[in-house]
Amino acid sequence: MRQSLLFTKTRKDISKEDVSVNANLLTRGGFIDRLSAGVYTFLPLGLRVLNKIEQIVREEMDRVGGMEVLMPALQPKENWEATGRWSTFDVLFKIKDSNDKENALGATHEEVVTPLLQKFVHSYKDLPKAVYQIQTKFRNETRPKSGLLRGREFRMKDLYSFHANTVELDSYYEKVQEAYARIYLRCGMAGITYLTFASGGTFSKYSHEYQTITDAGEDIIYVCTKCNVAINREIMNDLDNQCVSCKSKDLQEKKAIEVGNIFKLGTKYSDAFGFEYVDENGQSRPVIMGCYGLGPTRIMGAIVETHSDAAGIVWPKSVAPMAVHLISLCRESADLDKAESVYQSLIGAGIDTLFDDRADARAGEKFADSDLIGIPLRVVISPKTLADGQVEVKKRADVETKRLSLTGIVAGLTKELEGVI
């Protein structure tokens, strides 16, 4: 992608209400644009990051047998009354349609997915099933002010599983835990993201959250240094300040942001809709459910909170908008041709490249923009490097630069990229 054609530019004018690191850097870098409190447009570079995160999530959901669907945002009031949440779900947007019928704007989808599966699942032979979507959700938050960490309109992956019994649910729940671990690993968030015990429901003693350590977080968790799980403060008192898993008292208090939440629902929603199946003995039984949430936009915000320095964002390679930021400082026609030829070689080899071909930007401006945007590998081509038949290469996370020969530039950069995390 040619930077000269990109309609966005790096910016200095950002909303005073956006005080978070992620909103600041993502706005200044041209990834997102604030329309109103908690409501953002994803600009070309930002949409690329979001799509990469969502694709990782999609692949891992497919691996655990999830079937992808797309459910509506407009949801009838009756469905929310059936579960008793029409009046208790406090951030629910409500809207009347032209037939004077009330609807919720989907904040979550138990109220849709349960009666949906009820239409198709009748027998134990139809179970288990797992259904997910990656879709835009709406929550009427009072004071959204943490950028992508808490939005009024945001992207969410929600997986729902349906089982004949709790043994099956427990086993699937563990498979999803493994999928979540792979997602955070692949998004560059392993090591700072903890499986966290949180309050359960009527059906299970605990639910599980995934919490990423960051000062921007809204939660307090206690990380067990011995067994590497965490406990949400909300249940600490019940636990006598011991790790729920290994009973160690060596716990470290941390601020963290919830980036996922999985829950054994049991029969809570199947009871509400009378969703039953017929078992091997001809008996009707309620379907056992699990739900598994994860927010791609929130993950994007959490990555920026935890992967940035004073100069800007430092994207993990797996979710970076591009792999290479090729910066041309050339002015003469012969040099410009060489820069263009390097760009063509890179995109020809399938290496996603942002090409800073802007004629009217100074070198210092280009370097500052590159640090702010945070693409993993910066490649500078200038009259000076060309005099030696070379380009200059620097990883965004490092300070050292090195030179690579123009001969075999694709192979050389491919090797450099392999060394980038």
CA atoms within a 13 Å half-sphere pointing along the CA-CB vector of 330:
24
Among the listed ranges 9-17, 180-188, 268-276, 383-391, the one in contact with a second copy (CB under 8 A) is 9-17
**Rounded to whole angstroms, how far apart are CA atoms 309 and 371?**
9
| 131 lines the binding site for a second copy (CB under 8 A) | yes
**Total chain residues near a second copy (CB under 8 A):** 58
> Which one, 304 or 314, has the nearer CB to a second copy?
304
**Rounded to whole angstroms, how far apart are CA atoms 350 and 413?**
12
230 token code pair: 């965490």
- Whose tokens are 């820069």? That residue is 339
H or E segment and range at residue 341: helix 333-348
> Which one, 131 or 303, has the nearer CB to a second copy?
131
H or E segment and range at residue 79: helix 77-82
| 12 lines the binding site for a second copy (CB under 8 A) | no
H or E segment and range at residue 391: strand 390-395
Among the listed ranges 2-10, 262-270, 388-396, 409-417, the one in contact with a second copy (CB under 8 A) is 2-10
| 148 lines the binding site for a second copy (CB under 8 A) | no
> Which one, 140 or 204, has the nearer CB to a second copy?
140
| 347 lines the binding site for a second copy (CB under 8 A) | no
CA distances from 42 to 89, 183, 195, 416 (A): 28, 22, 29, 29
Taking CB under 8 A as the rule, which mask of x and - marks residues 350-379 in contact with a second copy?
----------x-------------------
397 CB-near residues (< 8 Å, 6+ apart): 314, 376, 420, 421
| 55 lines the binding site for a second copy (CB under 8 A) | no
10 token code pair: 């790096």
Residue list 107-126, contact with a second copy (CB under 8 A): 112, 116-117, 119-121, 125-126
**Rounded to whole angstroms, how far apart are CA atoms 182 and 167?**
23
Would you tell me how many other CB atoms lie within 10 Å of the CB of residue 182?
16
> Which member of 49, 50, 107, 386 binds a second copy (CB under 8 A)?
50
162 token code pair: 């349906």
* DSSP for residue 66: P
Q: Least distance to a second copy from the beta carbon of 255, Å? A: 25
Q: Least distance to a second copy from the beta carbon of 142, Å? A: 5
Taking CB under 8 A as the rule, which mask of x and - marks residues 151-190 in contact with a second copy?
-xx-------------------------------------
Q: Footprint of a second copy on this chain (CB under 8 A)?
A: 5-9, 11, 13, 33, 35-37, 39-44, 47, 50, 65, 67-76, 91, 93-95, 97-99, 101, 103, 105, 112, 116-117, 119-121, 125-126, 129, 131, 136, 138, 140-142, 152-153, 360
